[in-house]
Amino acid sequence: MVLRARPIERWPRMMTAATAAAYCDEASVGAFRRGVGKIWPRPRKIIGKGERWLREDLDDAIDLLTMSNVKDAADVL
């Protein structure tokens, strides 16, 4: 059986820690949680659901991580 990557358009808007860790390509949920508040955003507290990360918040964090590697405009082009 071949495991296939989940199509990006199928990622939920609100994610548990396990789903958010997979979305961010972290090695484990523990690794993801260690980065929360540092490189990853803090979760939203959803009544009746607990902690959830919004896909948009994770995307913003990823954008900041990748932009920190840009040294000048030529790196973007």
Q: pLDDT digits over 10-58, tens only? A: 899 999 999 999 999 999 999 999 999 999 999 999 999 999 999 999 9
68 within 8 A of 38, measured Cβ to Cβ: no
Taking the C-alpha atoms of residue 42 and residue 34, their distance in angstroms, rounded to an integer, is 11
Q: What is the pLDDT of residue 67?
A: 83
* Res. 77 pLDDT band, cuts 50 70 90: very low
Listed residue (8, 41, 38) closest to 23, CA to CA:
8
Taking the C-alpha atoms of residue 36 and residue 70, their distance in angstroms, rounded to an integer, is 23
Tell me how many helices (H) and strands (E) the chain has: 4, 3
Taking the C-alpha atoms of residue 4 and residue 42, their distance in angstroms, rounded to an integer, is 29
Q: What is the pLDDT of residue 66?
A: 87
Residue 2 pLDDT exceeds 90: no
